[in-house]
Amino acid sequence: MAIAYVIWGVITAISALIIKLSLHIITGRRNRKRAVGFFHPYTNDGGGGERVLWCAVKAIQEETADLHIDCVVYTGDHDASPQSLAARALDRFGVNLIHPPKVVHLDKRKWVEETTYPHFTMIGQSLGSVYLSWEALCKFTPLYYFDTSGYAFTYPLARMFGCKVICYTHYPTISLDMISRVRERNSMYNNDALIAQSIWLSRCKILYYTIISWIYGFVGSCAHLAMVNSSWTQSHIEKLWRIPHRTKRVYPPCDTSGLQVLPLERPSKTPIIISVAQFRPEKAHTLQLEAFSVALKKLDADLPRPKLQFVGSCRNNSDEERLQNLKNKAIELKVDGDVEFYKNLMYRFI
């Protein structure tokens, strides 16, 4: 008898929750605004993804100037305001928005942070992103939901809210290479050495990745229009999402007009190599440094000594730490005189 009561209680609670969530969705659908909502929780990372965001906002402002469509940015940065974001777009990327975007602040960003999930990071972050987009869509439901950060798991929810889903994908969350890498039992930044050594753990990881790649295929196929940044990403996304007719390749917006006016003659005799990338793990800065130091050793003594300049942004403390380690590594390799570091530079031509 008691057990029947417990089951009954659980069923009632779940039904109440489902009804409550459905009401939120119905209210959201009814109150959809003529707007494009850009889901971009980290609006201060200073990378290529952020540049795409601002170029997309600007392009939509230009295309819809007389249609009264607002551009709204969902961000987890609490200090972000329409003015500060417009200023950032200009200072960091040279993108001059027609008017500042509207801003919707998100409080639940920690649910998509890697540090929240020491294990099963991928599934944790994916579910976390659904929760974060729930917050976003309840606070403001746009007609068009534009994901510029690769949170594919949020698309089915955006569709429930009646949005048209558009995305710009730089990189598939899970790629078929990752599965084959575990299969070959390589150890890389996303596959720690312990797992690479054990056959059973590797098999479990393959199963985990395979299941996630199915789910990823389903959620991705909910996009009405998927833009990808390269032929590599296109071939992976087409295999995973299986919507080739709605997948378009749009190369990232690189403004070369400013660069073209720079003089071609070299101001100094020193050959300079510039490496531009955020100080994040997958950019393999340490490897670049090691390669440079090996190359230096092989260089003929009568040739001019080249310089390596690292230019990039730091998103947070882990990036800062990585940069510091890189500087220490340069000293250790005795190339600190040949390497220069430039952090968080402004986008500005002389």
Ligand X SMILES: *[C@@H]1O[C@H](CO)[C@@H](O)[C@H](O)[C@H]1NC(C)=O
Cβ atoms of 224 and 246 closer than 8 Å: yes
Strand ranges (E), 237-302: 247-249, 272-276
Q: With binding defined as CB under 6 A, does residue 116 bind ligand X? A: no
Q: With binding defined as CB under 6 A, does residue 64 bind ligand X? A: no
Number of helices (H), then strands (E), belonging to the chain: the values are 12, 10
CB 263 to ligand X: min, Å = 26
**Which of 315, 327, 329, 343: binder of ligand X (CB under 6 A)?**
315
Q: State which amino acid sits at residue 175.
A: S
CB 174 to ligand X: min, Å = 14
Closest CB to ligand X among 22 and 190? 190
How many residues touch ligand X under the rule CB under 6 A: the total is: 15
Q: How far apart are CA 170 and CA 229, in angstroms?
A: 5
Q: How far apart are CA 185 and CA 206, in angstroms?
A: 10
Closest CB to ligand X among 251 and 342? 251
The count of C-alpha atoms lying within 13 angstroms of the C-alpha of 103, restricted to the half-sphere facing its C-beta, is 19
CB 75 to ligand X: min, Å = 13
DSSP state of 279: S
Stretch that binds ligand X, among 14-22, 59-67, 109-117, 156-164 (CB under 6 A): 109-117
Closest CB to ligand X among 118 and 263? 118
Closest CB to ligand X among 35 and 314? 314
Interface positions, 35-54, toward ligand X (CB under 6 A): 48
Q: With binding defined as CB under 6 A, does residue 180 bind ligand X? A: no
Cβ atoms of 292 and 339 closer than 8 Å: yes
CB 194 to ligand X: min, Å = 20
Q: How far apart are CA 240 and CA 243, in angstroms?
A: 9
Six token digits for residue 80: 């972000």
Q: With binding defined as CB under 6 A, does residue 316 bind ligand X? A: yes
Q: How far apart are CA 36 and CA 141, in angstroms?
A: 9
CB 255 to ligand X: min, Å = 14
Q: With binding defined as CB under 6 A, does residue 317 bind ligand X? A: yes
Measured in residues, the chain has a length of 350
**Which of 253, 318, 340, 341: binder of ligand X (CB under 6 A)?**
318
Site map for ligand X, 209-248, x if CB under 6 A?
--------------------xx--x---------------
Six token digits for residue 128: 């976390």
Phi-psi region of 334 (alpha: psi -120 to 50; beta: other; left: phi over 0): left
Q: With binding defined as CB under 6 A, does residue 171 bind ligand X? A: yes
Q: How far apart are CA 140 and CA 32, in angstroms?
A: 8
Q: How far apart are CA 9 and CA 130, in angstroms?
A: 27
**Which of 62, 63, 114, 192: binder of ligand X (CB under 6 A)?**
114
Report phi then psi at 42, rounded to 5.
-110, 95
Stretch that binds ligand X, among 32-40, 72-80, 236-244, 315-323 (CB under 6 A): 315-323
Q: State which amino acid sits at residue 218.
A: F
Kindly tell me the burial class for residue 270, based on how many C-beta atoms sit within 10 Å of its own C-beta (0-12, 13-18, 19 or more): exposed
Stretch that binds ligand X, among 83-91, 256-264, 316-324, 338-346 (CB under 6 A): 316-324
Q: With binding defined as CB under 6 A, does residue 256 bind ligand X? A: no
Q: Which residues bind ligand X (CB under 6 A)?
A: 48, 113-115, 170-171, 229-230, 233, 251-252, 315-318
